[in-house]
């Protein structure tokens, strides 16, 4: 029997991508419900599946749903995801609300599908974590990764529609961030080394997410992982420059061979590196600039690019549901 599904946050940047991903993946469902706040309730959205009226989350009965995809922000998830799960839905949450809870699985299907053991609440990892860990996992399996130093260059769409609008506004008025901008500085013609709030240790919460989630997904609680997360004036597509050290001696041919497959596209030549502009609406992770660090015996550099709204959000979430349907 085909499942009934709901998308919470259907009018947002990621919510709208869920519809495209469902269509592209050929994910079959019996019914589809588009859920949002009271402010958006009653609106009719034109989608690839036809016209759907948006339903107020406060009036919706989640007991009729098998999968509820949440992407309406952490506050909405904290309030409503447990309620939806209690009503019987399998909640796949795209926010950071539950990722750090030990009892909530944090899933990338081809890496740690076994972490799901029947829970009603599943967390979708952070957008930049997904693409980084998808590149790390095959190298870790073959060579044993012991250290990761990552710098992320993250598109404004990672901050939702407000982020996209903030870049548009900043392009018009480059001297000001704009009243609606979620960024602490003007984003046009600029890079901002702050994503999310600063913590007491000087790192941002985004950087802590990458550290914690990488360890959790790979089941390596003692792995050295550190990160600098930077917002860049790109509308779509995150990039990560990652330095890795391994336990075993590296063979570059074997590194590239390990990466090929499982939705990873590898640039064999240095000049063929991927960029965000070329990977929109694609479900693969793109890896280039693969090179050995000359001053470290087992050091390796990677450049990892992916569509943050697909690979880093909707695509991974729908793949979780598809995996559970098998």
Using CA atoms, how far residue 164 sits from 76, 212, 316, 321, in Å, is 21, 27, 22, 28
Is 194 labelled as part of a ligand binding site?
no
DSSP per-residue string spanning 56-68: EGGG--GGG-SEE
Q: Residue 36 has what pLDDT?
A: 92
Tell me the catalytic residues: 127, 238
**What is the phi/psi pair of residue 58, to 5°?**
-70, -15
Band (pLDDT 50/70/90 cuts) for residue 218 is very high
DSSP 115: G
The answer to the question of whether 94 is labelled as a binding residue is: no
The answer to whether the annotation marks 96 as part of a ligand binding site is no
Tokens representing 258 are: 């390990």
Q: What angle do CA 51, 78, 62 make, to 5 degrees?
A: 45
Query: What confidence score (pLDDT) does residue 11 get?
Result: 87
Average of per-residue pLDDT across 115-128: 97
Span 292-319, average pLDDT = 96
Q: Please report where in the chains the tokens 């991508």 appear, as a residue.
A: 17
CATH number attached to the domain at 4-124+313-325:
3.40.50.720
pLDDT at 162: 92
pLDDT value for 99: 97
Q: Is 80 exceeded by the pLDDT of residue 176?
A: no
CA angle at residue 315 from 312 to 321, to 5 degrees?
Answer: 125
Across 22-29, average pLDDT: 95
pLDDT on residue 261: 84
11 is in an annotated binding site: yes
Residue 178 pLDDT grade (very low, low, confident, very high; cuts 50, 70, 90): low
pLDDT recorded at residue 38: 87
- One fold for 4-124+313-325 and 129-307: no
pLDDT band of 181, cuts 50, 70, 90: confident
Instruction: Tell the CATH topology of 129-307.
Output: Dihydrodipicolinate Reductase; domain 2 (3.30.360)
Q: Is 231 annotated as a binding residue?
A: yes
The CA distance from 85 to 92, in Å, is 10
- Tell me what pLDDT residue 139 has: 97
Instruction: Provide the residue ranges of all domains of the chain, joining segments of one domain with +.
Output: 4-124+313-325, 129-307
Q: How confident is the model at residue 79, as a pLDDT?
A: 97
Residue 177 binned pLDDT confidence (cut-offs 50, 70, 90): low
User: What is the pLDDT at residue 67?
Assistant: 98
Query: Is 158 labelled a binding residue?
Result: yes
Mean of the per-residue pLDDT values of the chain: 95
E strand or H helix that includes residue 266: strand 264-266
Average pLDDT over residues 159-181: 81
What does the pLDDT look like over 42-96, one tens digit per residue? 999 999 999 999 999 999 999 999 999 999 999 999 999 999 999 999 999 999 9
Q: Which of 281, 302, 304 is nearest to 293 (CA)?
A: 302
Residue 146 marked ligand-binding: no
pLDDT above 60: residue 116? yes
pLDDT(323) > 90: yes
Average pLDDT of the segment spanning 145-162: 96
């Amino acid at each position: 029997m085909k499942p009934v599904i709901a998308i919470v946050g259907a009018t947002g940047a990621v919510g709208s991508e869920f519809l495209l991903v469902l269509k592209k993946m050929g994910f079959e469902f019996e019914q589809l419900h588009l859920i949002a706040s009271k402010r958006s309730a009653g609106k009719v959205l034109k989608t690839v599946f036809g016209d759907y009226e948006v339903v107020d989350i406060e009036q919706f009965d989640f007991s009729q749903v098998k999968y509820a995809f949440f992407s309406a922000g952490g506050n909405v998830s904290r309030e409503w995801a447990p309620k939806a799960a209690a009503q019987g839905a399998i909640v796949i949450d795209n926010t950071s609300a539950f990722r750090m809870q030990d009892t909530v699985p944090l899933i990338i299907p081809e890496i740690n599908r076994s972490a799901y053991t029947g829970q009603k609440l599943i967390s979708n990892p952070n957008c930049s974590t997904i693409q980084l860990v998808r590149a790390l996992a095959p190298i870790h399996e073959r060579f044993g990764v012991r250290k990761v130093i990552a710098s992320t260059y993250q598109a404004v769409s990672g901050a939702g529609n407000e982020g996209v609008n903030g870049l548009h506004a900043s392009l018009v008025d480059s001297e000001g961030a704009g009243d609606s901008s979620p960024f602490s500085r003007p984003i046009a013609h600029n890079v901002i080394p702050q994503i999310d709030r600063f913590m007491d240790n000087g790192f941002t919460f985004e950087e802590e997410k990458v550290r914690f989630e990488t360890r959790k997904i790979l089941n390596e609680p003692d792995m050295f992982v550190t990160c600098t997360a930077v917002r860049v004036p790109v509308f779509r597509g995150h990039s990560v420059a990652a330095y890795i050290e391994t336990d075993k001696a590296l063979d570059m041919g074997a590194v590239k061979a390990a990466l090929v497959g499982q939705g990873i596209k590898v640039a064999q030549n240095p000049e063929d590196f991927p960029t965000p502009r070329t990977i929109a609406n694609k479900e693969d992770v793109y890896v280039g600039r693969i090179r050995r660090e000359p001053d470290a015996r087992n050091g390796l550099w990677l450049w990892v690019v992916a569509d943050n709204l697909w690979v880093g959000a909707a695509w991974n979430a729908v793949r979780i549901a598809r995996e559970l349907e098998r």
